[in-house]
């Protein structure tokens, strides 16, 4: 790892930690703001699913903080305890966002379908990429093709990170539009929900940009070694 890339990596680590801290701070802040409707995250999720004509998705509670996610394999909206039982802006925003993914699934949203198709390749790549890259760096002068294989594997995870961006932004768009149309929130509550979801999206943006920069770094090392041959 070159000194320049190490510095860039540390900058991205710092940005990632800052964004994660800000997200947690926003979630905590808006968790103290009750919604006008008084509905819990579970109730919000169930209503959004029903309003979108989705009746085969179950809303369940899972352990963890901000562990919320939609699982297309078993059609479940999984909400963390604070979101599942919370009747506040944070809970409403997160619950509606995860249901946004369920709506994407029901509507065959192309970016979600692409991300789902990439999952097996990403799982395969993730298990091997760090070892292949390490071996490629160590053997760069005698077997540069190994590093190329690592670059390709890392490229798969990078593509996945990039494809995730439109999926996440669209889910938030659907969530906020639904919350606005149903009048479950006052305008100031809606603005806070939008702010919370924006910071959540920024975690994916930082991860994607960091992945692209890392991919380019390894690609430059490979090209440099090939040009020396």
Q: What is the pLDDT of residue 228?
A: 65
Name residues of the chain where pLDDT drops below 50.
none
Q: Determine the Cα–Cα distance for residues 122 and 206; give it in Å rounded to an integer.
A: 19
Q: Where are the domains of the chain?
A: 3-35+88-227
User: Does 98 qualify as catalytic in the annotation?
Assistant: yes
Q: What is the pLDDT of residue 141?
A: 85
The active-site residue out of 29, 46, 98, 168 is 98
The long-range contacts involving 189-192, CB below 8 angstroms and separated by at least 24 positions, are 189/33, 189/35, 189/36, 189/89, 189/92, 192/30, 192/33, 192/89, 192/93
Nearest to 197 by CA among 51, 84, 98, 106: 98
Q: What is the pLDDT of residue 229?
A: 55
Q: What is the pLDDT of residue 116?
A: 93
pLDDT tens digits, residue range 15-72?
Answer: 888 988 998 999 999 999 999 999 999 999 999 999 999 999 999 999 998 899 999 9
**pTM assigned to the model:** 0.89
Q: What is the pLDDT of residue 183?
A: 86
């Amino acid at each position: 790892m070159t000194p320049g890339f190490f510095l860039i990596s540390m900058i991205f680590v710092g940005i990632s930690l800052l964004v994660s801290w800000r997200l947690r701070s926003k979630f905590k802040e808006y968790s103290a703001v009750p919604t006008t409707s008084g509905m819990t995250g579970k109730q919000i999720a169930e209503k959004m699913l029903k309003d979108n004509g989705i009746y085969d998705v179950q809303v369940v509670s899972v352990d963890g903080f901000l562990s919320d996610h939609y699982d297309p394999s078993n059609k479940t909206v999984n909400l963390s305890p604070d979101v599942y039982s919370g009747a506040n802006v944070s809970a409403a925003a997160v619950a509606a966002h995860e249901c946004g993914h369920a709506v994407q699934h029901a509507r065959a949203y192309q970016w979600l379908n692409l991300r789902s198709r990439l999952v097996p390749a990403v799982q395969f790549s993730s298990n091997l990429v760090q070892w292949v890259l390490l071996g490629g760096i160590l053997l760069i002068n005698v077997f540069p093709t190994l590093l190329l294989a690592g670059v390709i594997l890392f490229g798969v995870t990078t593509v996945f990170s990039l494809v995730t961006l439109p999926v996440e932004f669209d889910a938030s768009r659907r969530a906020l539009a639904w919350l606005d149309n149903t009048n479950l929130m006052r305008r100031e509550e809606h603005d806070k929900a939008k702010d919370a979801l924006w910071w959540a999206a920024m975690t994916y943006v930082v991860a994607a940009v960091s992945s692209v920069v890392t991919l380019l770094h390894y690609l430059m090392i490979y090209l440099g070694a090939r040009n020396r041959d």
